[in-house]
Amino acid sequence: MLLQNKFQYIALAVFSLLFFGFVGFTVYPQGILASEIVACDEKSPNETEKIDCWQDIMRGAFDVDGTQAAFDVFEVVYKNYEVFANTGCHRHAHRIGDMSYYFDYLTHKDFTKMDFPKGATACGYGFYHGFFEHLVQDNTSVEFVTQMCEYMRNNLGDVAPAISQTCYHGSGHGFLLARADELTQESQWSVEAFTQKPLEQCESLPQASDTEIAECRQGVYNVIVDWMADGEYGLSYNTVEPFAMCDREPYERQFDCYYEIAQKIDGLSNGDPLKMVAIVEKAKRVDLQTIAMSVGVAGVVQQNPQNDQITLLSACQSIDRMELKNQCILGIIGGLVEHTIPGTDYKNAINFCESDQLTVDERPLCDRELLGKLKRFRTDIELEEMCSSRVLSTTFCKNMEKNSETLSR
Amino acid sequence: MNKLVLLVVVVLLAGIAGFAFLGKEKVQQFDSAKQSVHVELGESGFEPREVTIIQGGTVTFTTTMDKPFWPASNLHPSHSIYSEFDPLRPLESQETWKFTFNRVGSYNFHDHIRSYFTGVIHVVAK
């Protein structure tokens, strides 16, 4: 039926205006967003410009709709473009932490008002590292760090089970960045000059546990090792004796130093676990050798986290020394869990521990490590739900309580 | 028939108007390109945050903060997109750093020390 009079035409026009406006407001941006993401891949000439382009989109999404919106873009890009996933998911997540600090925190300077969605734990808590490091860089007192990290512990445990360790780790980053502000002369630049004060700050945190102090120290060493690897401040990474710097540290700091120095040995060994053995065996203590092995292998996994890691597993299984072989396998798990994105329920890591290629002796090791890593990202209730929905295997779930007791000892 | 045509036209026009007006549209507008620009890093970030210069033009970077600064090309921390756009060291707070942009394109940049401070420089052909 055609309309009877002009008022009906006007009503129809208004209705159409509102209807298409609503569609334009909700559907059109999603379509535009998807096409922008694709355009970054098609129009950017190289991988760094693609990543820059995608980060621009994340920044735009953050500006409009906050952290979760940026992570929604992050997830789409990660799932669809290997170049993004394989170039350091943790580092990419740091950039969203930057955005959060600038677009959110700096507008009100009250961390209790911050938006921290559950998915922000992705990629080894990279978002939180990025956020905390800048917050502490600009608020460098031990008192502030304590207040902040204790707030995080008491309020974010449900969305981020490892939040307190993460907070202290990010604070270690921040202490070092703040220290760099003080060392303005080139003649002052040395590893010791940059790290001593931040390490002492970590060790003076009154409410941090021993583990959290270690995390803080690792945060300090992590930054300095990156600077060494990138040649910043005239520093350099010792490719011949990578652990020499750590051997000069006091005993209680050596483990944390080795942990972070080992982040780069995947490159030194070309991702070959057997070559990695030769490097880690330069460490003077077995506990340092094993942590270096585990971290080094996790670094290999980070380069290709979507891979099933079976070739890497075979290489691990060819290592003669039992403790290094085991740490190699555990490093695969660590890498898979730490470098995955939200919404995948850690399927790659879970499938790895169910692989037929694992021996009868290796499988329980794998399950125990998987549980320890999952606990960083999932509460006990969520792990139970993963069991009841069969995301986790029956065997894993049956042994979960026993493995939890082992982990807590 | 005339009424039908009128009806269709009204609906179409209203739809287009609604779509264009209320739907999100990305419109990029460049300031008129300049030969030289001064960008200052302050507590709120780079000002101006977005700059358009002519190819061969120069941007001068300073800071009002009493802290070192380090403007450089994305990506952080490698600065590889436009690797020459990098002083290669932290600048002291009283220093000035100038860079001449000889490559046409749009270059996101950041403060390497406080990477949450970002900006973009559009370089247009002469």
Residues in contact with A146: Cβ distance below 8 Å, sequence separation at least 6, in sequence order:
A205, A206, A207, A208
Q: What is the pLDDT of residues B61-100, one digit of tens each?
A: 999 999 999 999 999 999 999 999 999 999 999 999 999 9
| pLDDT of A281 | 97
Residues of chain A contacting residue B117, judged by C-beta atoms under 8 Å apart: 102
CB-based contact (8 Å) between B104 and chain A?
no
CB-based contact (8 Å) between A32 and chain B?
yes
Q: Band of the pLDDT at B25, cuts 50, 70, 90?
A: very low
| CA dist., res. A6 & res. A11, Å (int) | 9
- Residue-by-residue DSSP string for A263-301: GGHHHHTTT-HHHHHHHHTTSSSHHHHHHHHHHHHHHHH
Residues of chain A contacting residue B20, judged by C-beta atoms under 8 Å apart: 24
ipTM of the complex: 0.87
Residues in contact with A43: Cβ distance below 8 Å, sequence separation at least 6, in sequence order:
A53
| Closest among B22, B51, B49 to B35, alpha carbons compared | B51
CB-based contact (8 Å) between A8 and chain B?
no
| CA dist., res. A321 & res. A157, Å (int) | 38
| pLDDT of B24 | 44
Element (H, E) at B47: strand B45-47
Across the interface, of B22, B77, B117, the residue whose CB is closest to A21 is B22
Task: Please indicate whether, in this complex, the C-beta atoms of A24 and B23 are within 8 angstroms of each other.
Answer: yes
Element (H, E) at A279: helix A273-280
SS (HEC) of A87-132: CCHHHHHHHHHHHHHHHHHHHHCCHHHCCCCHHHHHHHHHHHHHHH
CATH of domain B34-124: 2.60.40.420
Give the single-character DSSP code of B91. B
Distance from the B57 Cα atom to the nearest Cα atom in chain A, whole angstroms:
22
Q: Which residues of chain A have pLDDT under 70?
A: 1-2, 21-30, 342-343, 345, 408-409
**Helices A163-182 and A122-137: angle between axes, nearest 10 degrees:** 40
Task: Please indicate whether, in this complex, the C-beta atoms of A18 and B67 are within 8 angstroms of each other.
Answer: no
Task: Please indicate whether, in this complex, the C-beta atoms of A24 and B24 are within 8 angstroms of each other.
Answer: yes
| Closest among A56, A49, A60, A38 to B105, alpha carbons compared | A49
Across the interface, of B20, B23, B74, the residue whose CB is closest to A52 is B74
Give the side-chain half-sphere CA count within 13 A for A142: 13
Widest Cα–Cα separation across chain B: 76
Where residue A50 falls (left for φ over 0; alpha for ψ -120 to 50; beta otherwise) is alpha
Task: Please indicate whether, in this complex, the C-beta atoms of B18 and A24 are within 8 angstroms of each other.
Answer: yes
The residue extents of the domains of chain B are: 34-124
Best residue in A16, A18, A185 for a mutation probing chain B (most B CBs within 10 Å): A16
Q: Please name the residues between 336 and 355 in chain A that touch chain B, using a CB distance below 8 Å.
A: none
SS (HEC) of A139-196: CCCHHHHHHHHHHHHHHCCCCCCCHHHHHHHHHHHHHHHHHHHHCCCHHHCCHHHHHH
Across the interface, of B14, B20, B21, the residue whose CB is closest to A16 is B14
Task: Please indicate whether, in this complex, the C-beta atoms of A180 and B90 are within 8 angstroms of each other.
Answer: yes
| CA dist., res. A120 & res. A170, Å (int) | 14
Task: Please indicate whether, in this complex, the C-beta atoms of B116 and A184 are within 8 angstroms of each other.
Answer: no
Give the single-character DSSP code of A389. T
Compare all CA atoms of chain A with the CA of B3 and give the residue at the minimum distance. A2
CB-based contact (8 Å) between A101 and chain B?
yes
| pLDDT of A58 | 96
More confident residue, B49 or A10: B49
Length of chain A: 409
The residue extents of the domains of chain A are: 89-233, 241-409
Q: How many helices (H) and strands (E) does chain A have?
A: 23, 0
Residues of chain A contacting residue B23, judged by C-beta atoms under 8 Å apart: 21, 23-25, 28-29
| pLDDT of B28 | 44
Backbone φ and ψ of A41, nearest 5°: -70, -40
CB-based contact (8 Å) between B10 and chain A?
yes
| pLDDT of B26 | 39
| Closest among A116, A111, A138, A112 to A127, alpha carbons compared | A116
| Closest among A151, A145, A152, A155 to A127, alpha carbons compared | A152
More confident residue, B57 or A1: B57
Structure token digits, residue A266: 């995947």
Q: Give Cα A180 to chain centroid, integer Å.
A: 23
Across the interface, of B4, B18, B114, the residue whose CB is closest to A21 is B18
User: Residue B124 pLDDT more than 70?
Assistant: yes
Task: Please indicate whether, in this complex, the C-beta atoms of B6 and A9 are within 8 angstroms of each other.
Answer: yes
CB-based contact (8 Å) between B9 and chain A?
no
Distance set, CA B70 to CA A93, A225, A297, B40 (Å): 22, 19, 33, 12
Contact in structure between B66 and B93 (CB atoms under 8 Å) = yes
The string over A39-54, giving b where at least 16 C-beta atoms fall within 10 Å of a residue's C-beta and e elsewhere, is: ebbeebeebbbbbbbb
User: Residue B60 pLDDT more than 90?
Assistant: yes
Amino acid (one-letter) located at A11: A
| pLDDT of A23 | 67
Task: Please indicate whether, in this complex, the C-beta atoms of A181 and B23 are within 8 angstroms of each other.
Answer: no
| Closest among A327, A332, A330, A345 to A392, alpha carbons compared | A345
Give the single-character DSSP code of A234. G
CB-based contact (8 Å) between B90 and chain A?
yes
Q: Please name the residues between 14 and 43 in chain B that touch chain A, using a CB distance below 8 Å.
A: 14-24, 26
Task: Please indicate whether, in this complex, the C-beta atoms of A14 and B14 are within 8 angstroms of each other.
Answer: yes
Q: Band of the pLDDT at B13, cuts 50, 70, 90?
A: confident
